């Protein structure tokens, strides 16, 4: 991982799951479940991305707001879709969409 002058990380060289897992092992990245385990998501590779810790915190905040909508009786569909730059294995952004009784969309800019 490279840190640019403005302290923005550059994950363009992290182009494999092995490299991402190495940063995870060094605690430079955390594991994020696209579909939360509490909502029926599974702890499998296709539901996991590796991201800086602030992304996990922001997604948890957004998911908490969605849980409040569900608790209020709203019927909702949910998706969390990573977007990538080049060959990087680290998502550059995470787009969260909610549809149904309420339509919402939020984007977490990662790098």
Give residue for tokens 């991982």: 1
b/e 48-85 (16+ beta carbons within 10 angstroms → b): bbbbbeebbebbeebbeebeebbeeeeeeebebebeee
Tokens found for residue 1: 């991982």
Instruction: Give 23-59 pLDDT, tens digit per residue.
Output: 999 999 999 999 999 999 999 999 999 999 999 999 9
Residue 6 scores a pLDDT above 80: no
Beta pairing partners, 32: 49
Mean per-residue pLDDT over the chain, rounded: 93
Residue range 86-103: mean pLDDT, rounded? 97
CA 29/CA 37 separation, integer angstroms: 19
């Amino acid at each position: 991982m490279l840190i640019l002058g403005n302290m923005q990380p550059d994950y363009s060289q992290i182009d494999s799951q092995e490299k991402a897992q190495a940063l995870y092992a060094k605690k430079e990245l955390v594991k994020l479940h696209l579909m939360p385990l509490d909502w029926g998501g599974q702890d499998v590779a296709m539901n996991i991305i590796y991201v800086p810790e602030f992304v996990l915190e922001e997604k948890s905040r957004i998911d908490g707001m969605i849980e409040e909508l569900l608790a209020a009786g709203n019927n909702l569909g949910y998706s969390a879709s990573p977007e990538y730059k080049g060959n990087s294995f680290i998502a550059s952004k995470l787009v969260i969409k909610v549809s149904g009784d309420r339509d919402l969309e939020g984007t977490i800019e990662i790098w």
